[in-house]
Amino acid sequence: MAKIMYIEALKSALREEMRKDKNVFIMGEDVTRYGFGINRGLVEEFSPSRVRNTPISEAAIIGSAVGAALRGMRPVAEIMFADFIMIGMDQIVNQAAKMSYLSNGKLSVPMVIRTPEGTEWCGGGAQHSQTLHSIFMNIPGLKLVIPSNPYDAKGLLKSSIRDNNPVIFFEHKQLYTQKGEIPEEEYTIPLGKAAIKKEGEDLTLVATSWMVKHSLEIAEDLKNKISIEVIDPRTLVPLDKDTIINSVKKTGRLLVVDESPVSGGVQGEIITVAMQEAFWNMEFPPRRIGSLNTPIPFSSALEEKVIPTKEKIKKEILSMFSD
């Protein structure tokens, strides 16, 4: 198995799906130039018609992806930073997410919006660093994918492109250069299937995206004290409730870690899902960690205070076993 970077895994998924299906095409701002290098080389192979640089017009990028999808294409629209999705919000919420339902299933919108989210290595600040996926959990009709490593990124992106629904694919910027093993042969990962990244007995630690990396390191650090089960939902919609519930029933303790601000975030949703089924198995109240309810500040000294860090997660875990 080859070890490749997350961005290479994404590129590999795009290339394979574009070779397989001529209806798949990419569009977005400077996709052949920036895009964290993910699309590099694709325009040469597939022509500028299928790898399209667009004007800075997020509503038109997302809206036209919806329209192209309605006509049988499979657009992969890249939004340069997740923060910029807000300009095209209507096109996602009022258009893409409604087409299937309003047409009684006669219309489908097979499109993917790929977008980097989360804090950066260089300090993107308030409008380039947000974690916004929780917002979309409240919109029926969308699927949300949030892969935490190169293997998942490739398998899930391929499934997202083949899915007949609008999918938003969130990539944490800190993961782009992470390396992981990828098999030579083709594979896909179904949407709606969580991964138990590490088995354990004492605590269910549900973590998403970049937080999975922290969580696995903590599980290793604490292995002699606490046996931690690390679960990565991989997709927020559909959410693999069973895997989470079964784990919580086994461990009796739950901590959910996600970079979204905690208020109204995915953390609370996952806790509710688990508590409705596993409440009587609990040995300790469920806990959640997310970003503080503040915008993301530029200064590293401040940014570190806002986002969940490895130290914060570890401290929280230890507090759940303090008795």
Partner 1 sequence: MKVNREQKINMYRSMIRIRKFEDKLEQIYRDGKLNGHSHTCHGGEAVAVGAIEALSEKDFIFSNHRGHGHFLARGTSPKNIMAECYGKVTGTNQGRSGSMYLVDTKRGMPVASGIVGGNICVAVGSALASKIKKDNVVTLSFFGDGATNIGFFHEALNMASVWNLPIIFLCENNQYAEATKREQHQKVKKISDRAISYAMPGITIDGTDVIKVYETVKEAVEKINQGEGPILIECLAYRLLGHSAGDLGIYRPRGEKKEWGKIHDPIKKYKKQLLKEGILNLQEIEKIEEEIQEEIKEAVRFAIESEEPLAKTVGKFVYQEEVNG
Rg (CA), the chain: 19
Task: Choose the binding region for partner 1 from 137-145, 215-223, 243-251, 267-275 (rule: CB under 8 A).
Answer: 137-145
Q: Which are the contacts of 155, defined by CB distance < 8 A and separation ≥ 6?
A: 13, 187, 188, 189
| Residue among 144, 247, 270 nearest 198 (CA) | 247
Q: Which are the contacts of 161, defined by CB distance < 8 A and separation ≥ 6?
A: 13, 14, 17, 21, 24, 74, 76, 110, 112
Instruction: Tell me whether residue 119 or residue 160 sits nearer to partner 1 (CB atom).
Output: 160
| Residue among 141, 153, 151 nearest 116 (CA) | 153
> Contact, 156 vs 169, CB < 8 A?
yes
Please state, in angstroms and rounded to a whole number, the distance separating the CA atoms of residues 77 and 112. 6
Q: Check residue 159 for interaction with partner 1 (CB under 8 A).
A: yes
Applying the rule CB under 8 A, the residues between 29 and 68 that interact with partner 1 are: 49-50, 52, 54-55, 57, 59-60, 62-68
CB of 189 to partner 1, least distance (A): 13
CB of 161 to partner 1, least distance (A): 8
In a 3-state reduction of DSSP, which class is residue 34? coil
Enumerate the β-bridge partners of residue 196. Answer: 231
Instruction: Tell me whether residue 41 or residue 105 sits nearer to partner 1 (CB atom).
Output: 105
Instruction: Tell me whether residue 17 or residue 171 sits nearer to partner 1 (CB atom).
Output: 17
Choose the catalytic residue: 128, 133, 172, 214: 128
CB of 132 to partner 1, least distance (A): 20
CB of 139 to partner 1, least distance (A): 10
CB of 177 to partner 1, least distance (A): 31
Tell the burial category of 93 from Cβ atoms under 10 Å away from its Cβ (0-12, 13-18, 19+): middle
Site map (CB under 8 A) of partner 1, residues 64-103, x = contact: xxxxxxxxxxxx-----------x--xx--xx--xxxxxx
Token pair of 260 as six digits: 């979204």
Instruction: Tell me whether residue 94 or residue 319 sits nearer to partner 1 (CB atom).
Output: 94
Q: Does the active-site annotation cover 214?
A: no
Please state, in angstroms and rounded to a whole number, the distance separating the CA atoms of residues 171 and 274. 25
Chosen residue from 107, 122, 302, 318 binding partner 1 by CB under 8 A = 107
Applying the rule CB under 8 A, the residues between 161 and 190 that interact with partner 1 are: 162-165
The residues annotated as belonging to the active site are 128
The binding site for partner 1 (CB under 8 A) comprises 20-21, 25, 49-50, 52, 54-55, 57, 59-60, 62-75, 87, 90-91, 94-95, 98-108, 110, 140-141, 143, 159, 162-165
